Amino acid sequence: MAKISFKPGNMLYPLPVVMVSVADKEGNTNIITIAWAGTVCTNPPMVSISVRPSRYSHHMLVETGEFVVNLTTQALAFATDYCGVRSGRDVDKWKEMHLTPVQSDKVKAPCIAESPVNIECRVVKVEKLGSHDLFMAEVVAVHVDEAYMDARGGFHLDDARPVVYSHGEYYCLGKKLGRFGYSVQKKP
């Protein structure tokens, strides 16, 4: 297979695309769409998000050190895109996208009711990296929509049709290929 050299850049795709809800000290809230989010650590549970300092939500993150990662779905795809291309300086994204803010348990930023998973976070470290600041945060609470729980307590996020972002486009996750460890599983 022939390969060509490509300019250096972020080609790590696909990525989870999430709506991050934030609040400032006065209680004003906003939603920002983030594709640069990820797991940092299992114990303690930690995630990270990268945000440009010019974004309206940035000052809220710095002010309170708290945010909520709200997973996105096919049903939320339009709102996810809208919250990424419109600024909270100009519009009330909650109102425009008919999203419902729900009080979080541990942080001031609200959860998005329509999201199947809400991950409440407290920032433990901020790294200024250039175009973006990296906010590393400890997960302090998680909420899951009971509609995706089975009778045995298993959570089925795939039923919510999660969305990922790949090089400027959104995709629903597709067919399951295997389960962690299936490559070394003994055949019956």
Long-range contacts of 37-42 (CB under 8 A, 24+ apart): 37/69, 40/136
In the prediction, which pLDDT does 171 show? 95
Q: Give this prediction's pTM.
A: 0.94
In the prediction, which pLDDT does 47 show? 98
Q: Which residues pair with 135 in a beta bridge?
A: 49, 126
Q: Domain limits of the chain?
A: 15-172
- Tell me which architecture the domain covering 15-172 has in CATH: Roll (2.30)
Which are the contacts of 142, defined by CB distance < 8 A and separation ≥ 6? 117, 118, 119, 120
**Interval 18-49: pLDDT, tens:** 999 999 999 999 999 999 999 999 999 999 99
CB atoms within 10 A of CB 70: 27
- Integer Cα distance of 116 and 100 in angstroms: 13
**Interval 88-131: pLDDT, tens:** 999 999 999 999 999 999 999 999 999 999 999 999 999 999 99
